[in-house]
Amino acid sequence: KEVTRMVILMVLGFLMAWTPYAVVAFWIFTNKGAEFSATFMSVPA
């Protein structure tokens, strides 16, 4: 039971950490050639 809870917390932490980067990377991939501001590029950081 404790292990299950820890695995769920680790998966949620991983998703929270990588989702901003994945969203920005997907946005850049789907909008090739568009201008991106420095503020937009710093969102994943």
Every domain of the chain and the residues it spans: 19-45
Contacts of 21 (CB under 8 A, 6+ apart): 44
Length of the chain: 45
Residue-level pLDDT at 6: 98
pTM score, two decimals? 0.69
Residue-level pLDDT at 35: 85
Look up residue 28 and give its amino acid.
Answer: I
**Which residue is associated with the tokens 């949620």?**
12
**pLDDT tens-digit series, residues 1-45:** 899 999 999 999 999 999 999 998 898 889 887 888 888 888 877
Angle of CA points 34, 37, 42, to nearest 5°: 120
Contacts of 44 (CB under 8 A, 6+ apart): 20, 21, 24
